[in-house]
Amino acid sequence: MSAETSRRSPSHAGGGLGIGRRGGGGWRPEAACSRYSVDLFYPGPGPTGERLTAEAKFVCASCPVRRPCLDFALATRQPYGIWGGTTPEDRRDMRRSTSAPRRWT
Ligand code: SF4
């Protein structure tokens, strides 16, 4: 799957490659984003992108399946889009913080 296909397929709008909304798992039918345009969850750069990111995160904040959505995005290293209330940068930071060596004090 190309990056562009990955970016657009399982998406928030549902359908796609037969894997439905937000990837695999029984949590998908409850995804709050299913009521919104997929474009909201794939914002571009700049001020408009920042506004859309904030709006998408607002939707995620009250989504009943936020945790499994985020788990899916982390497990599958989703490179684009807002998943579980996180941006790609947020998820990179989360992966870094959980893979960093721990110091024993
Ligand atoms: S947490 Fe956000 S991106 Fe994930 S299913 Fe819910 S609304 Fe969609």
Helical pair 46-61 and 66-75, crossing angle rounded to 10 deg: 120
**Distance between Cα 105 and ligand 1 center (Å):** 38
User: What pLDDT sits at residue 104?
Assistant: 63
pLDDT in tens, the chain (105 residues): 334 334 443 445 343 333 345 455 688 889 999 999 999 999 999 999 999 999 999 999 999 999 999 999 999 999 999 999 999 999 999 999 887 666 665
**Distance between Cα 41 and ligand 1 center (Å):** 9
Question: Do the Cβ atoms of 41 and 56 come closer than 8 Å?
Answer: yes
Of 21, 28, 33, 62, the one to substitute when testing ligand 1's pocket (max ligand atoms within 8 A of C-beta) is 33
User: What pLDDT sits at residue 7?
Assistant: 43
